[in-house]
C-alpha cells in the first residue's frame, strides 16, 4: 500500500498544515500502525516446522522402525543428536529473531502539528502519511519516511547505505508547481526511516518540519527488513541435484524392499518380520544422516573464514562462492585507497588553463579559493568538522574554519546555515563566507552547489562542484578552455580523480526568494573556474589479487561511479586490462527528432585507430558509462548480452545500474561475485551470488559476507574456501551414498542367506566409522592457489556418476567374493540359529569385516586434495581417525578377543592366514579405488572432455555465455569508428546531440599556454572581474 510517494506534486507538501485527530484515526485504519513488527516464533511453532520437514519425517520413521527391531543403541544416539540439533536450531532461530526485533522494533515520542502552531506529542506508532512532524534538535531516530520542508538536517544513513559519513538533508524545493515528487530523485530531501538525525539547523525562526510519506513496512527500512526476513533463495544446481539423487536412492531402496519381501515371503516368514526387514533395507539405502553430513564442510569453512576476518551470515552461500567465475569490483575504497591526496589545482584565467599548483595560499582572494572553502557538505558535530572525505581534503587545504550559524550572524544580509571563517590575508577584503542554501550532490546530477554571501555585503554567489564534463556543460562555452578535453584526459588517463569548479553571480535574488528559486535555473550559464586534481592510489593488495583471479580464468569487472577514463586507467594499472586487449569505448546517443538512438564504438587507445586489426580471439573488451548502459537497455536490448559478455569497465553507474549489471551477468549463466565498500553497492551485493562488503556498517547485513580487512585479499580466500567446501560437500555426498549402497549390498547378500548384521555391528559402522569419518572429512582447508578449472557443480555430470558407479561396483565385487569364498573353506560350517536373532556365522564375519574396511577405503579415496583442497595429511584429525579406525578393524579381524567376539557377535576365522587375506583384500581395495578415483576418473579426459562432448550433443546444456562467445567469433560486430575518442568525456553529460556538437565546436584545440601566465595573474584577474 503506497502513501504519499506516488503522484504527489512537490508543491503540495508545502501546503500541508497538519491532520486533525479524527483524520489521523481515519488514516490509521487505512494505513495501519506505524511499526515494523518482527515475529518471534514460539518453541512449539519452530519445533513443528522443523520436524514436519520430509527429512525429519523420514528420520522419525526410521527410528520407529529400528526401535521396533530392538536396535536401541544407534536409534537412541541418533535421537539424542537430533534433539540437540533441533534444540540448537530453535535457540539460534529465536536468538536471531529477538536480536532482529530488538534492533528494528523501536518507538519514540514525536511532536505532531495539529494545524497552525498547535503541536501534540504522540507515539511514533500513531503516525500516518500526511502528518506534519517537528524534527528535534539532536539525536533523533526516524521512525518513518518523511519529506523535509523546512530547515536542514544532518543525518547518518549507514544502516541503509553503509556510508557512515554524515549527510546534509535540505528542504524540498517549492519552485515548480507541477513537478511530481519522486522519492529516488528527491532523496536528498527525504529523511528515511532507520536513519539518525544527528542535528538540525533552523532557517530563521521556523521549526524544522517534515511531512510523513510512508510508514511501517512501506518505508525504506521496512523493505530492508523484508529482504532480511525473506531473502532471495539461492538457486544452486548442486542442491537441486542432491534432492534428485536422494530420490534415486529411494528408488534403489524400493528395489531392495521388493527383493527382501520376495525372499521372505518365499521362505514363509511372518508378516511382522517381512515388513520390518523390508523397510529396514529402505532406511539403509537412504542415509538418514546425509543432510547433517552435508553441512559439515560448510561449518568448517565458515569457521576458517572467520579466522581470516571474513564473517558470513548466509552459510548456504559458501558452497556457491566456490563456483564463482566472474567477480565485480567497486573502485573507490575497494580497489583504491579510501583516502585521497590533493595533487593540485589547475586554475583557469581568460579561458585558458594555467599551470598546476599545489600552493593553495596563492589562490586566496579568488573565486576558486572561495569555491573550495564553501562548496561542500561538511558539518560541525560536537565541535569537529565531519563529512565526505573528498570535501574534507579540499576544505582542509584552504586552512579555513567552519562554524555553525547562530543568532549572531547579523553581519550577513541573508539567513545562513553555516559560516566559513577565512584565514587572514592581505589578498582579500573579506574574512567570512555564509552558506545560504545548499543544493546537495546527487549521483544522477553529478554535482552539488551552494549559494554563498560575503560578510557585510548583499551580493550572492553560486559555487558549483562536480564531474568536470558536467560542470563544463553547465558553463558558458567561452569560459571553458578550448583544450578542456585534452587536459582532463591527461589527468584521468593516469588515474587521477578530477573535479571541476564554477561560479555564477546572483545579483537579482532577494532574501525572500533565495530558498524558493529552482536549482535548474541557478546551475546554468556558469563561469568555469578550474580543476581540482585528487590522487587515488591503488591498494597494495589490489594488483596481485587481480592477477591471481585472471590467472584462474575468473573474469574481473570494474563497476564504479567514477569517470570512465579514470576507471580505465585504474583497470590498466591493476591488471584488469593488459596490453594485448583491444579496449573499445562504447558511446550512446539518445534519439532526437531527426535521428534515432545510436551506438558508436571507438578504440580507447588512439594509436590503434588506424593501425590495429580488431582481434576476436578473446581480447575484445568494452568500456562504457551509465548513460550508455541505459541507452543500450532501452534501445538496443539485442546488443546488451554482448556488451555484458565482453565488458570490463562500467563507469558512472548508479546503484540500480550496478544491480542490473549483476543480473545481466547471471542471465548469461555466470556465477557472479561482488565486492564493494558498502556505500552504493548494497543492491549489487544482495543481487550477486556471493557479495562481500568491506564496510563494517549496518548495511553489511545486505551482503552474505563481510570482511573486517578492508582490501580485496578476501576475494581469493573466499573462492578457495568455497571451492574446498563445495568439493567437501561432493565428497561427503558420494561417501554417504557409497556407504549406504555398500551397507545396502551387505544386507541384501546376508538376507540371501537368511542372515543379518547384529545391532552392535551396525553400531560400530554407523557411530564409530561413519559419524567420525564424516565429521573429520570436512576439516581439510582450501588449497593455497586458485586453478583455472572450477570444481564440478553438476552431481549428474560424467565424473561423479562414473565415480559413484565404479566405486560401488568394486565394493559389491569384493563383498560377493568374500561371501562365496568363505563357503569353500574346509573349516566352513553353515549357520544353525540357536535363537531368533542369532547371526553368528562365517558368512556374516566375511561380509561384515570386508565392509568395514571398505568404509575406511571410501573415505580416503573420496577425500580429495589438490587442486581444491590441501592434502589430507594436513588434516591431522582425519588422518588420526583413519589410523584409529583401521587399527580397530584389523584388531577385530586378527585377534578380537572373547569380549569383542561376544559384544559384536563375531565368529573369527580359524585360519590366521585367512584372516590376513582380508587385510590384503582391504589393501587391494584401497589401491583399486584410489587408482580409479585419482588417476582414471578424475583425469581431464573423463571429467571435462567427455562431459563437454555430451553437452555438445544435448540441447540447452551449454552455458549461454559459451554460445554467445562462439557467435561473436563469426560475426562482424562491432563496427569500429576510426575516430580518436578525444572528446569522450563530453558524452558523460546529459546533453542532446546538438548541444554536444555546439559544445565541441567551441572547444577546438588551443596551443600551449604562454609561460608568462601564472597563478598570481589568475588571482589578480579574478579580483578585477569581481
In the chain, how long is the greatest CA-to-CA distance? 120
454: phi then psi, degrees, rounded to nearest 5 = -90, 150
What's the sign of the alpha-carbon dihedral 1007, 1008, 1011, 1012?
positive
**CA nearest to 743, candidates 765, 764, 776:** 765
- Rounded CA-CA distance 87/107 in Å is 32
**Angstrom distance (rounded) from CA 204 to CA 171:** 14
Q: Is 698 helix (H, G, I), strand (E, B) or coil?
A: helix
Catalytic pick from 131, 145, 280, 330? Answer: 330
**DSSP H stretches of helix in 823-841:** none
Would you say 124 and 63 are in contact if contact means Cβ atoms under 8 Å apart?
no
Q: Is 887 helix (H, G, I), strand (E, B) or coil?
A: helix
Tell me which residue of 545, 500, 549 sits closest to 523, measured CA to CA.
500
Q: Centre a 10 Å sphere on the Cβ of residue 381 and count the other Cβ atoms it contains.
A: 16
* 812 C-beta neighbours (distance < 10 Å), count: 18
DSSP per residue, 456-481: T---EEEEEEE-HHHHHHHB-GGGS-
For the stretch 419-424, contacts whose Cβ atoms lie closer than 8 Å and that sit 24 or more positions apart, written own/partner, are 420/373, 420/374, 422/364, 422/373, 423/364, 423/398, 423/399
3-state secondary structure of 247: helix
Q: Is 766 a catalytic residue?
A: no
User: Residue holding cell 554524515?
Assistant: 166
Q: The dihedral of CA 726, 731, 734, 736: what is its sign? A: negative
Residues in the chain: 1026
Q: Assign 3-class secondary structure to 198-213.
A: EEEECCCCCCCEEEEE
Rounded Cα–Cα distance for residues 18 and 35 (Å):
21
Rounded to 10 degrees, the C-alpha dihedral 740/744/750/751 comes to 140
Tell me phi and psi for residue 118, to 5 degrees.
Answer: -90, 120
Residue 617's H or E segment, with its range, is none
Beta carbons of 943 and 727 less than 8 angstroms apart: no
Catalytic center residues: 330
Amino acid at each position: 500500500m503506497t502513501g504519499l510517494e506516488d503522484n504527489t506534486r512537490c508543491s503540495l507538501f508545502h501546503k500541508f498544515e497538519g491532520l486533525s485527530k479524527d483524520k489521523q484515526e481515519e488514516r490509521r485504519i487505512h494505513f495501519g500502525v506505524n511499526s515494523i513488527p518482527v515475529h518471534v516464533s514460539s518453541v512449539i511453532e519452530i519445533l513443528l516446522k522443523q520436524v514436519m520437514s520430509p527429512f525429519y519425517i523420514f528420520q522419525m520413521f526410521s527410528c520407529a522402525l529400528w526401535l521396533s527391531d530392538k536396535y536401541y543403541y544407534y536409534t537412541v544416539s541418533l535421537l539424542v543428536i537430533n534433539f540437540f540439533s533441533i534444540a540448537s536450531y530453535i535457540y539460534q532461530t529465536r536468538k536471531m529473531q529477538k536480536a532482529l526485533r530488538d534492533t528494528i522494533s523501536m518507538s519514540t515520542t514525536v511532536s505532531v502539528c495539529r494545524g497552525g502552531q498547535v503541536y501534540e506529542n504522540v507515539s511514533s506508532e500513531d503516525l500516518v502519511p500526511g502528518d506534519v512532524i517537528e524534527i528535534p534538535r539532536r539525536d533523533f531516530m526516524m521512525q518513518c519516511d518523511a519529506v523535509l520542508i523546512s530547515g536542514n538536517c544532518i543525518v547518518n544513513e549507514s544502516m541503509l547505505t553503509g556510508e557512515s559519513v554524515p549527510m546534509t538533508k535540505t528542504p524540498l524545493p517549492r519552485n515548480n508547481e507541477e513537478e511530481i515528487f519522486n522519492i529516488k530523485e528527491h532523496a536528498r530531501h527525504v529523511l528515511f526511516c532507520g536513519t539518525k538525525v544527528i542535528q538540525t539547523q533552523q532557517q530563521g525562526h521556523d521549526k524544522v518540519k517534515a511531512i510523513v510519506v510512508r510508514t511501517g513496512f512501506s518505508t525504506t527500512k521496512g523493505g530492508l527488513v523484508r529482504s532480511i526476513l525473506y531473502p532471495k533463495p539461492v538457486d544452486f544446481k548442486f542442491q537441486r541435484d542432491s534432492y534428485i539423487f536422494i530420490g534415486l536412492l529411494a528408488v534403489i531402496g524400493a528395489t531392495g524392499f521388493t527383493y527382501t519381501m520376495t525372499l521372505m515371503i518365499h521362505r514363509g516368514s511372518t508378516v511382522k518380520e517381512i515388513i520390518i526387514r523390508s523397510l529396514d533395507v529402505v532406511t539403509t539405502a537412504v542415509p538418514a544422516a546425509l543432510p547433517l553430513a552435508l553441512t559439515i564442510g560448510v561449518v568448517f569453512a565458515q569457521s576458517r573464514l572467520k579466522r581470516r576476518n571474513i564473517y558470513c551470515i548466509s552459510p548456504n552461500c559458501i558452497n556457491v562462492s566456490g563456483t564463482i567465475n566472474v567477480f565485480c569490483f567497486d573502485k573507490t575504497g575497494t580497489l583504491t585507497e579510501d583516502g585521497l591526496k590533493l595533487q593540485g589545482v589547475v586554475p583557469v584565467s581568460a579561458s585558458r588553463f594555467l599551470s598546476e599548483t599545489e600552493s593553495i595560499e596563492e589562490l586566496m582572494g579568488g573565486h576558486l579559493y572561495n569555491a573550495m572553502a564553501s562548496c561542500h557538505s561538511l558539518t560541525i558535530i560536537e565541535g569537529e568538522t565531519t563529512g565526505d572525505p573528498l570535501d574534507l581534503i579540499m576544505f582542509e587545504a584552504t586552512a579555513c574554519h567552519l562554524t555553525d550559524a547562530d543568532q549572531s550572524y547579523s553581519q550577513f544580509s541573508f539567513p545562513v546555515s553555516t559560516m566559513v571563517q577565512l584565514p587572514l590575508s592581505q589578498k582579500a577584503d573579506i574574512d567570512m563566507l555564509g552558506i545560504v542554501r545548499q543544493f546537495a550532490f546527487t549521483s544522477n546530477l553529478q554535482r552539488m552547489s551552494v549559494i554563498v554571501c560575503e560578510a557585510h555585503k548583499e551580493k550572492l554567489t553560486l559555487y558549483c562542484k562536480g564531474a568536470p564534463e558536467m560542470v563544463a556543460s553547465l558553463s558558458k562555452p567561452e569560459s571553458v578552455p578550448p583544450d578542456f578535453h585534452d587536459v582532463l584526459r591527461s589527468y584521468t588517463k593516469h588515474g587521477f580523480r578530477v573535479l571541476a569548479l564554477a561560479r555564477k553571480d546572483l545579483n537579482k535574488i532577494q532574501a525572500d526568494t533565495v530558498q524558493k528559486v529552482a536549482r535548474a535555473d541557478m546551475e546554468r550559464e556558469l563561469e568555469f573556474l578550474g580543476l581540482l586534481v585528487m590522487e587515488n592510489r591503488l591498494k597494495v593488495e589490489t594488483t596481485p589479487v587481480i592477477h591471481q583471479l585472471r590467472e584462474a580464468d575468473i573474469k574481473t569487472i570494474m563497476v564504479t561511479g567514477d569517470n570512465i577514463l579514470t576507471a580505465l586507467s585504474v583497470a590498466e594499472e591493476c591488471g584488469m586490462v593488459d596490453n594485448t586487449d583491444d579496449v573499445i569505448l562504447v558511446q550512446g546517443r539518445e534519439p532526437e527528432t531527426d535521428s534515432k538512438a545510436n551506438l558508436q564504438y571507438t578504440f580507447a587507445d588512439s594509436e590503434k585507430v588506424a593501425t590495429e586489426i580488431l582481434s576476436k580471439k578473446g581480447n575484445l573488451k568494452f568500456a562504457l558509462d551509465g548513460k550508455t548502459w541505459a541507452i543500450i537497455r532501452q534501445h538496443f536490448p539485442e546488443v546488451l548480452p554482448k556488451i555484458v559478455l565482453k565488458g570490463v569497465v562500467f563507469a558512472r553507474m548508479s546503484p540500480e545500474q550496478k544491480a542490473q549489471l549483476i543480473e545481466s551477468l547471471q542471465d548469461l549463466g555466470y556465477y557472479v561475485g561482488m565486492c564493494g565498500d558498502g556505500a552504493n553497492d548494497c543492491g549489487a551485493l544482495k543481487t550477486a551470488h556471493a557479495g562481500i562488503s568491506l564496510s563494517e556498517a549496518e548495511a553489511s547485513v545486505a551482503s552474505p559476507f563481510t570482511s573486517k580487512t578492508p582490501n580485496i585479499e578476501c576475494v581469493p580466500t573466499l573462492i578457495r574456501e568455497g571451492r574446498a567446501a563445495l568439493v567437501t560437500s561432493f565428497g561427503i555426498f558420494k561417501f554417504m551414498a557409497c556407504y549406504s549402497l555398500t551397507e545396502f549390498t551387505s544386507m541384501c547378500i546376508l538376507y540371501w542367506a537368511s542372515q543379518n548384521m547384529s545391532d552392535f555391528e551396525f553400531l560400530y559402522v554407523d557411530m564409530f566409522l561413519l559419524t567420525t569419518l564424516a565429521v573429520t572429512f570436512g576439516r581439510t582447508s582450501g588449497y593455497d592457489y586458485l586453478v583455472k578449472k572450477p570444481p564440478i557443480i553438476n552431481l549428474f555430470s560424467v565424473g561423479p556418476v562414473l565415480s559413484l558407479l565404479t566405486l560401488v561396483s568394486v565394493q559389491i565385487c569384493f563383498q560377493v567374493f568374500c561371501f562365496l569364498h568363505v563357503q569353500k573353506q574346509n573349516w566352513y560350517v553353515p549357520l544353525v540359529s540357536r535363537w531368533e536373532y542369532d547371526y553368528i556365522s562365517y558368512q556374516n564375519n566375511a561380509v561384515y569385516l570386508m565392509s568395514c574396511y571398505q568404509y575406511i577405503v571410501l573415505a580416503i579415496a573420496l577425500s580429495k586434495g589438490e587442486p581444491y583442497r590441501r592434502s589430507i595429511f594436513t588434516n591431522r584429525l582425519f588422518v588420526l581417525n583413519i589410523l584409529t579406525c583401521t587399527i580397530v578393524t584389523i584388531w577385530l579381524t586378527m585377534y578380537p578377543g572373547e569380549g569383542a567376539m561376544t559384544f559384536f557377535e563375531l565368529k573369527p576365522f580359524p585360519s590366521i592366514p585367512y584372516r590376513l587375506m582380508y587385510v590384503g583384500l582391504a589393501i587391494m581395495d584401497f589401491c583399486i579405488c584410489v587408482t580409479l578415483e585419482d588417476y582414471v576418473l578424475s583425469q581431464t579426459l573423463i571429467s571435462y572432455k567427455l562431459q563437454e562432448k555430451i553437452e555438445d550433443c544435448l540441447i540447452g546444456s551449454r552455458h549461454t555465455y559459451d554460445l554467445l562467445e562462439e557467435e561473436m567469433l563469426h560475426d562482424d560486430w562491432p563496427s569500429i569508428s576510426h575516430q580518436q575518442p578525444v572528446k569522450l568525456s563530453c558524452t558523460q553529460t546529459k546533453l542532446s546531440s546538438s548541444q554536444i556538437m555546439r559544445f565541441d565546436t567551441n572547444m577546438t584545440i588551443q596551443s600551449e599556454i604562454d609561460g608568462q601566465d601564472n597563478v598570481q595573474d589568475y588571482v589578480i584577474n579574478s579580483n578585477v572581474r569581481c
